[in-house]
Amino acid sequence: MKSFNKQFGKKLTHIDQVIRTVFENYTIYIVAFDDLQFSGVKITAPRVGLCAPNITLVNSNVEVSNRGCKSSMGRGLGVATKGCGGSGGSHGGTGGYGGVEPKNHLRQNRCKAHFPRPYYYGREARFEGSGGARKGGGAGGGILWLSTTGTIVLNNSKLAADGENGRVDTKNETMLGSGGGAGGSIQFICKNLKGDG
């Protein structure tokens, strides 16, 4: 219960509170009272949590990429400044500024001055990445949480919470580029981390 409360920033005391919190915060949350072992599995969702005494992933993919905040949404949503491409979304770091094609230094400097600031520096993975600005802005990454009292083993497996690239509408010449989404959150709580990746 102690590590669960730390994960969610709560002070829960009963199992019914735990269950309600999981349903409110995760798309997929797998709890095992024995070791959790996945081989050749692919899990894709906006928010994924795995909790067991020991967790082993072999030849598996757990992806929350591009499943966080949508375009122009989130706490650090991208900034759309007139005459500039959309900025990238932010999360634990600054979102990239929106670019501009002409070599007009005043306009370039104005574009570089507008970008979203980071909004979370905490040690727990609690937030998705924010979406990039403008139509076609990329979605942020989701949340992936692996929690164990023992060992996490990763062999030939991929865990990802990437933000999505922004896109340019090539049919509309006035369309400046859109910003990419910010990366999401990946959190490991364990005594040991082993494997080849």
Contact 138, 90 (CB under 8 A): no
pLDDT in tens, 57-69: 999 999 999 999 9
Tokens in use for 56?
A: 């082993």
Whole-number Å distance between alpha carbons of 94 and 29: 30
45: its two tokens: 């969702």
Which is more confidently placed, 26 or 185? 185
- Look at residue 146 in the predicted model and tell me its pLDDT: 93
Cα distances from 42 to residues 60, 64, 70, 111, 157, in angstroms, run 6, 11, 23, 40, 10
Q: Are 76 and 90 spatial neighbours (Cβ–Cβ below 8 Å)? A: yes
Rounded Cα gap, residues 151 and 191, in angstroms: 6
- The whole-chain average pLDDT of the chain stands at 86
- For residue 24, what are the contacts with CB-CB under 8 A and spacing of at least 6? none
Query: In the predicted model, what is the mean pLDDT of residues 102-118?
Result: 81
More confident call, 174 vs 89: 89
* Percentage above 70 pLDDT, the chain: 90
At 174 the pLDDT is: 54
In this prediction, residues 91-97 reach a mean pLDDT of: 85
> What is the phi/psi pair of residue 110, to 5°?
-65, -40
Look at residue 100 in the predicted model and tell me its pLDDT. 73
90-99, 147-156, 163-172: range with lowest mean pLDDT: 163-172
* Minimum mean pLDDT range among 17-21, 44-48, 68-72, 176-180: 17-21
